[in-house]
Chain A
Amino acid sequence: MEYKSLIGSKGSKANEETIWDLRIEELINDILGNDKNQFLIDVFKEPLIDKNAIDFRLKIFNDLMDEKIYNAIKNFVNKIKDCNRLMDLEAKTYEEFKYGFHLDAALIYVNALDSSLNLMRELNIKSDGMLYFVNYLENLIQSDRFQALKRITYEAKTGRDKIKVRININGDRIRVAKEENGEDLTSKIEQLFSKFKGQQVRELKLVSYYEQITHIHAAILKGVYRIFKEEFNIMKKLKDVFPDIVDEGIKSFAKEFEFYIKYIEYMKSIQSNGYKFSIPQFTEDGSVHIKGFYNLLLARKNIAVANDIHTTGDKRVFIITGINGGGKTTFAITFGQLAFLSSIGLPIPAEEAKICLFSNIMTAFPIEEDKLENLSRLEQDVVRVHNILKTADNKTLVIVNELFSSTTSEEGFELAKRFIDKITSKGSYLVYVTFISKIAAVENVISLVAQIQDEKPTFKFIESNHISKYMAIQIASKHRLLYEDIKSDLG
């Protein structure tokens, strides 16, 4: 039976500008931690456009969000990793020790496969990816090769457990002999002085690690093997007959499963701060209904504020306005990350997420002065918009931040209106962050306004047409007259 990838189809790399603007790099670093595994970085940077390919991964995640399934598989993978590590060490060690490493690698492997299969059979696994693997594992275990490996491994282990020697070190002479009833000095001393009850003694600061694998130890081991010939021969046979222990398919599985482990561990750390994740559902009618989505990097610090975003699909342009420092850019980036993560096939940081599958995410954020090349800032903005409009279609998400801000607000407003018109005619989705509040009043857009309370931003965004009446909102909030207040009071 052939092994099939747990990652499924591969995506294609997102464009660098989007990755930069949406701080995807930073997010991946946060997810992967110190692990700079290029294979994983690539998977996280390659969005999929095929819904089935995304579903393949999401269904695996859905399985793994069941704690029992996750722990069982993770445990299995960790054992395979241990086994690989021992095999690596075996290659570098003294001849006498190779037999020991080989035996332990085999023990871990045999135990991992045996115990995991039984466990996995009892789990409520539903995803194609995992189900296929369980089948693969079952076939592997039933193979003659595995059964033979198992038999000889246990035989070697039984032999090793029998070994006990008496060693005498005196000056430069080492004597290894069969152990015959010696008396344990430690327990005799313990017993004799036990009549002195005392308090906790001083903590010994003994080094817990003594070198265990040296040429002297190897020489002692050689003596041990001489004395216990029979036991040694079985270990040797194990190594000669099964030089490679781990099956290639199992190796690939362990490597690919890391993608799921990393993200689930990340989710757990975020969830421990009280935030939720959900498996995105992809809509066909162009509607978007996301409840309680939040920024992962802020959730890590426990300071993320959740927001909602909705559209039936008729209106696809969101104008984000509000006071400076009110969280406009964060809102836009957060939504962009959400869309990005969903196209990688990952559970996303939201309470509930119905979203359309974007085939492409494009961004236009302010460019630093020295990267402007030869064009004026305004001209550069126009060029970018032009490029965006060239490729945008009704599956495209465009996120722009303070575009057309290097001109009068009257002109900026005019440019924005034109851009919005064009985007609307292509049926693309647009998140437009601006301080020109008039833009929120153009037709066919959804206006989202940053909220304030007691003259401080709440980082909440609410659909509203009352753009400039910040104080009125504040007062309304004080008297519990905002949308959410009334709704919850009436609900």
Chain B
Amino acid sequence: MIQFDLLKLSDGPEIEDKNNLKKDLELEKIIEIIAQKDDLVVKLWNHVLLLSKADIYSIKYRQEAVKDAIQNRDTVLNMYKFTGAVINRTIRAAFIVTYDNPESIVYDTANGIRVMIDAFKDLKDILDRSSFSSEAFRELIGSIKENIDDNFIVSSNELMGFLDIRSGTEFSVRLGMNNTLSDPVFLTHKKESSVMKRIISRKNDYVFRLDPRDERGAEILGSINKWVLSSLAPTMLKAYEHLLQFFTTLHTQLAFFVGAINLYDFFKKTELPLAYPDFSEGTISFRDLYCLSLAISINEKPVPNSLDLHNINAFIISGINKGGKTTFLKAIGQAILLARAGLFVPANNLIIPSSGTVLTHFQRGEERTLSYGKFEEETIRFRKIIESLKAGDYVLMNESFSTTNQVEASVVARQVVSALIDSKITVFYVTFLQDFIYDFIKDNKNKAVLLTPERLKDGTRTFKLVQGFVQSGYALEIWDKYFMKN
């Protein structure tokens, strides 16, 4: 059995709310860089980034393979190109137009199979010259060497040789219900040892020829041919498709590494730092984490952020506009998704608490009006998010619950966020809800932090977030500041 899996992706579903997530975290921009206009890479990366499940073992497995692929970049790119070409040649040779004619299925798939059998020789040559070291690539090479030996190639060619339309159809039948012919079995052609033997054995045969005027009879003979071949057709199609699936699977999995190599090139070009993330429960720690989509937009390094916190589940982000809050949220979300994929991230190091997925609840510009209708819509959307959440996931909230007055909204937000963190969900929440911020931080001193945009003493913005503190009576103080002055 040929077995390999360069990716070990979870076969679970994609994130339910993936369209919002893609939009909120600007994933299109990142995928564009990764894919470099290759549709297959686009498709694969859209899938990999949005998978709802990823375990740490498989992430590490991919990290190792990504490193290996970058080391052997020419071989990987060459294999990707070669497998793509084989798939094209096979499809052109088989040229299956319909799936209802067993005769053409049998003969067309035979043509396709012949192309693929030939291709194995070249694929083995490429692999023989490679020097992979990762578990993923070594398993691939081992499995191919073990299963695709010369014997297999000779046997395949021999069997395909029986499928020559010129030698007619030879089959056995029994008599079934109502004496109709039944159980047709397509036979390999008999090889008679001598002419004499053939003559003797054929003496008792019953032979007849179609009347040349019998057009209907010719049609029926054609249909008998199809009937016989219809028992062979599913097997041929299965053999053809399974062989083709070998090439398409390999090609598709290689597309992952082609994407990784492309992104690697972008990092080098823009001089972004590169780190392979780690996982450690209770820790969120990164140094100089960049927002990748922003780096792509401006084509240079934006302002990075650093953080090193332990046993914190809620990151409440508040403060002046245009201070880098949303960028921070995006940087975090993108980094977690890249980490889950098994890729490197734009930072000097990154440690996150789990390999859970990311879900976003972003309030968008156009929605910024107060109404209970809108508020209901928001809660419905949040309800959906809740339904797909599991422990270890991350929720990124950007001004959630701001479609109603802050007093009411704060109560809701407090209930929601408290419930999330008590269910082992990590929350990043950009918000202006003052009641919420004050109460929540006070209630969860050990589990929550407040992050605010940094402002230097002279008032300059750095676009970095720093840990802030809630100050009770601050508003009164301001009041007092003006009214009690005199």
- B3 within 8 A of partner (CB): yes
- A212 touching B180, Cβ below 8 Å: yes
Q: Does B169 contact A (CB under 8 A)?
A: yes
Which A residues touch B226, using CB under 8 A? 210
Q: Which residues of the partner chain A approach B220 to less than 8 Å between Cβ atoms? A: 211, 214-217
Give the Cβ gap from B376 to chain A, nearest Cβ, in Å.
Answer: 30
Once the chains bind, are A198 and B180 in contact (CB under 8 Å)? no
Interface pair A204/B175, CB less than 8 Å apart: no
A119 at the interface (CB under 8 A from B): no
Residue B123 is within 8 A (CB to CB) of chain A in the complex: no
Stretch at the interface among A64-72, A92-100, A468-476, A480-488: A92-100
**Is B195 interfacial (CB-CB < 8 Å)?**
no
Question: Are A186 and B167 within 8 A (Cβ)?
Answer: no
Least CB distance, A238 to chain B, in whole angstroms: 12
In contact, B180 and A205 (Cβ under 8 angstroms): no
Binds A, one of B97-105, B283-291, B300-308, B399-407: B97-105
Chain A, 191-225, contact with B by CB distance < 8 Å: what is the 0/1 string? 01111111101111111001111111101111110
Chain B contacts for A192, CB-based, 8 A? 152, 155-156, 159, 239
Mark the stretch among A128-136, A162-170, A380-388 that contacts chain B. Answer: A162-170
Q: Contact check, A168 vs B168: say whether CB atoms are below 8 A apart.
A: yes
Given A163-B175, A192-B155: A227 touches B169 (CB 8 Å cut-off): no
Judged by a CB distance under 8 angstroms, whether B320 is at the interface is: no
CB < 8 Å: which of B175, B186, B233 contacts A224? B175
Cβ of B233 and Cβ of A197 under 8 Å apart? no
CB pair B185–A104 under 8 Å, yes or no, is: no
Distance of A290 from chain B, by nearest CB (Å): 51
Contact in complex: A204, B168 (CB < 8 Å): no
In the bound complex, residues from chain A placing their C-beta under 8 Å from that of B186 are 184-186
CB of A210 within 8 A of CB of B234, answer no
When the two chains form their complex, are residues B206 and A160 in contact, meaning their CB atoms are under 8 A apart? no
How far is the CB of A258 from the nearest CB of chain B, in Å? 25
Q: Is A33 an interface residue (CB 8 A)?
A: no
When chains A and B are docked, how far (Å) is the Cα of A227 from the Cα of B173? 14
- Nearest A residue to B225 via CB reads A169
A267-309 with Cβ < 8 A to chain B: none
A193 contacts which chain B residues (CB < 8 A)?
156, 238-239, 242-243
Interface stretch, picked from B208-216, B343-351, B357-365, is B208-216
Nearest Cβ in chain B — how far from A192, in angstroms? 6
Chain A residue nearest to B143 in the complex (CB): A195
Instruction: Check B180 against A197 for contact (C-beta < 8 Å).
Output: no
A189 within 8 A of B: yes
CA distance A189 to B239 in the complex (A): 8
Is A173 touching B147 in the complex (CB atoms < 8 A)?
no
Measured between C-beta atoms, what is the minimum distance from B239 to chain A in Å?
4
Given A165-B172, A173-B207, the answer on whether A182 and B246 have CB atoms closer than 8 Å is no
* Minimal beta-carbon separation of B194 from chain A (angstroms): 16
Chain B residues whose C-beta falls within 8 Å of the C-beta of A183 in the assembled complex: 187-188
**Is A166's CB under 8 angstroms from B217's CB?**
no
- B193 at interface, CB cutoff 8 A: no
A221's nearest neighbour on chain B, judged by CB, is B179
A179 in contact (CB, < 8 A): yes
B245 interface hit (Cβ, 8 Å) = yes
Subset of 11 A-B contacts with CB under 8 Å: A100-B179, A175-B202, A182-B188, A183-B187, A185-B187, A188-B188, A190-B235, A195-B147, A204-B99, A224-B206, A235-B179
Other than A100-B177, A186-B231, A193-B156, give 16 A-B pairs with Cβ distance below 8 A.
A163-B174, A164-B174, A170-B169, A171-B168, A177-B206, A178-B204, A183-B188, A184-B187, A189-B239, A195-B2, A204-B233, A206-B233, A212-B181, A221-B181, A223-B208, A224-B206
